[in-house]
């Protein structure tokens, strides 16, 4: 793992992980089961999980989409980018 980020749900039962390779996945803890996995384009600067809702359903991610890196609200169950937002 070269770089990336992770965030836990409020109850600590799940974690959302994103890697600079673009691989992003949601784990159920207690057994390490991968509940969902998807990929964004690789981002050598490292993708980031900037926020995660208490229930782990929605995330704010800094990822590459197309030719540019941006900050997005995403469905944390399947990776769909719902809306681009600006964050510093």
Q: Mind listing the pLDDT tens digit for each residue in 21-71?
A: 999 999 999 888 999 999 999 988 889 999 999 999 999 999 999 888 999
Give, as one character, the DSSP assignment of residue 22: S
Residue whose tokens read 């509940």: 35
Tokens at residue 63, please? 């990822």
Contacts of 88 (CB under 8 A, 6+ apart): none
| Predicted structure pTM score | 0.89
Rounded Cα distance between 74 and 16, Å, is 12
| Residue bearing the bigger pLDDT, 50 or 2 | 50
Name residue 37's beta-bridge partners.
25
Other CB atoms within 10 A of residue 59 CB: 24
64: number of CA atoms within 13 Å, CB side?
17
């Amino acid at each position: 793992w070269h770089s990336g980020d992770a965030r836990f749900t409020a109850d600590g039962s799940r974690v959302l992980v994103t890697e600079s390779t673009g691989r992003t996945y949601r784990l159920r803890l207690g057994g390490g089961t991968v509940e969902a996995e998807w990929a964004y384009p690789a981002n050598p600067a490292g993708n980031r999980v900037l926020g995660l809702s208490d229930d782990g359903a929605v995330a704010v991610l800094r990822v590459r989409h197309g030719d540019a890196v941006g900050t997005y609200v995403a469905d944390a169950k399947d990776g769909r980018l719902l809306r681009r937002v600006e964050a510093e």
